[in-house]
Amino acid sequence: MTDDIWAPLAEGFVEGHYGSLRGRVRTHVVDAHLREHLAPPPGRVVDVGGGAGHQSIPLARAGYGVTIVDPSPAMLDRAGRAVAALPGSVAERIRLVEADGAAAPDVLDGATFDGVLCHGVLMYLDDPTPVVGALCALAAPGGLVSIVAKNVEVMAILPAHRGDWAAALAAFDEDRQVNGLGVDSRGDSVDHLGELLRERGVTPEAWYGVRLFTDGWVPERVDRDPEDQVLAVELEASRRDPYRRLSRMFHLVGRAG
């Protein structure tokens, strides 16, 4: 494997991002969407670029068999620590595989899954096409393909939240920007990713917004908000226009033919 570019970011990502209410908004609303579309357990789920397992380990607790595929040893180490803290009956349903997303079908020996997740990965790739192709190849007939990507239509909102008005003005015509982790990232559109899925035999079924009202919260902000109400508001916004269209990310789900 190549040098692990995520190693220096792992702690900030796992503890700083997912340890905050802002980060938990993302996992909460995406999990709610998944439960609406995934067939009930037992079933097999693969999380491509699944990192420390924040999205897929709860599915293992619910009874799914989970395979987490990630190219970063540091992130998989974090996933391994989380798995080690689980009851044995849950931990035995989780497999960790070190591999690049585009190579996942070959590394997994052509296995197919009832659910194929790829959340917060495409934004770090110059071209999403190879990984989208891999996701579709991993989906069993009738299986769900679930993608969370950055919403290219609202790139100006983050710099505006930060008061960087020059950057906000430039962002109207950009599809890239540096995110809160200090990493260059890229936006996608629902229509474009939906077309990539259709070309590979996966029919888009629904899409949702992910994180609207809490997206401008800075890391040093102290969480004093009622968490249950924040999560409920963000979940409701994720399902409604115009709110879902203004969200920082979107969640696209499709069904394999």
Contacts of 56 (CB under 8 A, 6+ apart): 45, 47, 50, 66, 68, 94, 117
In 3D, which of 66, 79, 65, 89 has the Cα closest to residue 18?
A: 79
Class of domain 7-152+183-256: alpha beta
Tens of pLDDT, residue by residue over 51-93, are 999 999 999 999 999 999 999 999 999 999 999 999 999 999 9
Instruction: Render pLDDT for 203-225 as a digit per residue (tens, 0 to 9).
Output: 999 999 999 999 988 877 887 89
Task: Write down the pLDDT at residue 16.
Answer: 62
Q: Tell me the sheet residues that pair with 46.
A: 67, 116
Has residue 1 got a pLDDT over 50?
no
What is the share, in percent, of the chain residues with pLDDT greater than 70? 96
Whether pTM exceeds 0.85: yes
Q: Are 81 and 51 in contact (CB under 8 A)?
A: no
Cis upstream peptide for 42 (omega within 30°)? yes
Torsion angles phi and psi, residue 253, rounded to 5 = -125, 140
pLDDT for 228 equals 97
pLDDT given for residue 40 in this prediction: 95
CB 129 within 8 Å of CB 196: yes
Strand partners, 48: 69
pLDDT band at 12 (very low <50, low <70, confident <90, very high): low
Region 230-236 average pLDDT:
98
Could you report the per-residue pLDDT of 119-164, keeping only the tens digit for each? Answer: 999 999 999 999 999 999 999 999 999 999 999 999 999 999 989 9
Question: Does the pLDDT of residue 13 top 80, yes or no?
Answer: no
- How far apart are the C-alpha atoms of 76 and 97, rounded to whole Å? 8
Q: What is the CA radius of gyration of the chain?
A: 17
Structure tokens at 64: 């799914």
For the chain, give every domain's residue range.
Answer: 7-152+183-256
